Structure 1
Amino acid sequence: MRKPGQVFLVGAGPGDPELLTLKAARILGEAQAVVYDRLVSEEVLALTPPLARLIPVGKAPKSHPVPQERINEILVELALDGLTVVRLKGGDPMIFGRGSEEAAALSAAGVPFEIVPGITAAQGAAAATGVPLTHRGLASGIRYITGHCREDRPLDLDWAGLADPQTTLVVYMGAGAIAEIAARLLGEGLPASHPVMAVASATTPQELRLVSSLGRIAEDAAAASLRGPVLFVIGEVVSLYRSCPDTVLALLATSPSRDAVYA
């Protein structure tokens, strides 16, 4: 029997290829097959070997052409063919990336695998905009939540616990549900003036930023027609967007990004 290859569950980061870890870049350069998501940038894919098999399995809202179960099967099949396989995911594979599901499938099939973490979108957006996720006196904790549930089920979150003014909320995949999220947080007592930032395509040349408030974010986001993956940062830390240290502001001034709205 042929010895199975190995699968690497690799985080591609938020988009900028220079934000790949050294380990991720090295493994990507050694791949024989790359199974990649929709949000992996072309610049990152360009780092794959010329003869590597590139297999797209990306999902979009309400469109899952390759079901997760089939993705699991593809990874097992490629590894059993003796290939070195990279499962390439935007951000970090273990943060809303279904990396744990794929790891479980590989383990059950007896396929060796390794998880290679990546910079998640929240960290990328914080670095690109200069808005910290925590700040003394403003936010002592962070919570990452998803705005999209499996099989488009209704959001069932701990809304009372999330409505903590001392906590920064980061909403992944929330563009279609931001109106509901804002309404539920307002209903639990957060003020309409609570700051919110939306960042589309963070860390890429297409990045757009929209600064708003909890009471207006749904209306403002709809008017801005933000494209690409959109991340929402909800919390008092957003108030620091225009009061960054001079060194950070200098970096932002040279960024290709631009503000959609500043309010």
Structure 2
Amino acid sequence: MFNVDNHKCIGCGLCIEDCFVKDISIIDNKAFIKNKDCIKCGHCIAICPTNAISTDDYNMNEVINYDEDTFNINSENLLNFIRFRRTIRKFKDKEVEPEKLLKIIEAGRYTPTASNLQNVSYIVVREKINELRELVLESLNNLGEEIIKTSKNELEIKYAKSWKLMYKIFKRNPQKQDNLFFFSKNIIIITSPNDLNAGLASTNLELMCNALGLGALYSGFFILASHNSHKIKEFLNLKADEKIINCIVIGYPDVKYLRTVPRKEPSIKWL
């Protein structure tokens, strides 16, 4: 529940004005939270000028007061940071520290979700990454065989042949080549019943990777394989409502980029 400390509350009404679901009222010149329609977004905690509002649903020790020096990001620096990020497919033979992986997930944890459902979950694969790699390549190989038999799309057939070759190389020598995880030692799988929530979280995860000096790759091959394999879902021990939305391959980059790259002009409609 969300609660108001009447000794601190000054009845200013700011929390009422900012409460989207209108779950707060004024009684005897003090804010009163009904906890009926509350979605636990925490806006009331964030906006209260006297720090009078708290909740026992979350850990209040995580609350940090706003500080201009440490909370603000220069807009040009942020834009350049986004422009400079690159997909990494070459990683050093170096473990990513667990505390960095937790910090990456923390960036996802604080990403907004529809109705504040906070229904995004994360699976970190480290020790069993090679077992998962084999399952993914097996699934891609099976999918590739089916595509070659049935498809007339040249691009699909091209990918299908590459998947079959990847699986063949892996079965001969798993250490020779890895065009799936690129010998990364860490992946984070993002799951959610809501595609948008998981997609938004994934973006923040990847930005935090770059901020920590790490490299990241969104693995579309993994997503495709996982959607066509019960073995992968069983291996990951997914719950009934957990849907694999994204997979981020993470590691220390073994490549150094020196500049940004050009992009298409944006497609914009001004109405």
Q: TM-score range by the shorter chain?
A: under 0.3
Higher relative contact order (CA 8 A, sep 6+): 2
Q: Greater share of helix residues, 1 or 2?
A: 2
TM-score by structure 1 length? 0.21
